[in-house]
Structure 1
Amino acid sequence: MAREVVKVLVVDDEPMVCAHLRTILGSADDIDVVDAAHDGAAAVESVLRHRPDLVLMDLRMPGVDGLTAIDGIMELDRPPKVVVLTTFDADEYVLRALRGGAVGFLVKSTPPEDLIGLVRVAADGHMVLSPVAMRRIVAASAGEDAARERAERLIGKLTEREADVLTRLGEGLSNAQIAAQLFLSEATVKGHVSRMLVKLECANRTQAGLLAYDAGLVAR
């Protein structure tokens, strides 16, 4: 059965980067690059106009930057998934973007053959970053004490089973992999994740995964 077409908005202040991404993604039958924007303000306007499923968002742009744009997008009704585009994966702004609602990040040097698959994964609501990258970003962050206290407070709301699911989610496992490890059905795991996100006040799995790191459920 054919995959549903994923509508993508590309945001970068370099037109050549936008053109490059449009060419790569446009080669896939199930991905449609609906627009390209060159600053954060234009990105929010484009989301309202085109209602993409996924936004590839540069962070460092003149005028309205990517972080501000992500904040604006997340305030919209039914916001799209946002994946950060970055040159350096240890960029301090990446963590702020993930905490703000981005589902993951891609370095701009990502091989073209990997980019299409990663866009599909992100559009399906999964994290687009490795556990190794997550550890490096969290370890390099400032204000860890406050983040740990908040994470421990929120995780205290979870049942023991939900905490088990959260730990494995933080390790980068899919619902199917979590189900296999915990001897549960995939539907049961999906239900746990949905309830867990509400209790943790998280918009997506990536934010929940960050809480697992902050609380020490996942080794750094």
Structure 2
Amino acid sequence: MKPLRFLLFLFIIIGAVAGAYLLYAQLSSPNIRIVENGYVFNASYSNNIWNYSISGELPNPCYTYYVNENINSNTADITFVVNKPGGETICTEVVEPITYTSTLNYSKDAKFNFKVVDGNNDSINNNYLDNLNENLFTIEKEYIDETGWAYAVNGTLPPCYSVVNSEQEILESYPEQIYIVLTIKKPEKSCSEDSPFEYNDSGMVQASPDATFRVKLNNIL
């Protein structure tokens, strides 16, 4: 019986230690809660990933929204943009509960700013031009022997924004620095689109195997 008691005691100790560790990990994981204009931003950190949600109520089902993420070195600015229905839209006068969820691959020490803005405000739309940056886009590339580089640019812009032109800009250094220059067009006042703009483009460029690639936003209209 003694070995059985010893094993039982050992299992109890292991279970207590494991439970204490899980409790410590849960309590030590950062959790953020911000309330702004009736909307609640919650973020939690686990396994090198921030999971966040935005919840609240739109005035009625005809309102739309989108979320803009502006990521800096150690700060994430999360902006919740609410768009009023345009024209003489007839809509049921009942609030519309919403919940938006997303993830960010960001450091544990990251800081978050959260704000809610009126998407119908022209000054707000102009400010978004300043927040658009190359971090919204990714480049996939492959070197093909003497042919050079094949590349693909992918990204997501807020609703009503679009990419109207793409050009290659090559700095003749070694290794070459290759910029894929994208021209962004801001929304028209009459735009009522509520889905993000998905951008995908591909191309070829002659350059050495050591060439570097970057996206650059230029001539924003």
* TM norm structure 1: 0.28
Structure label with greater radius of gyration: 2
* TM norm structure 2: 0.28
User: Counting helix residues as a fraction of each chain, which structure ranks higher?
Assistant: 1
User: Counting strand residues as a fraction of each chain, which structure ranks higher?
Assistant: 2
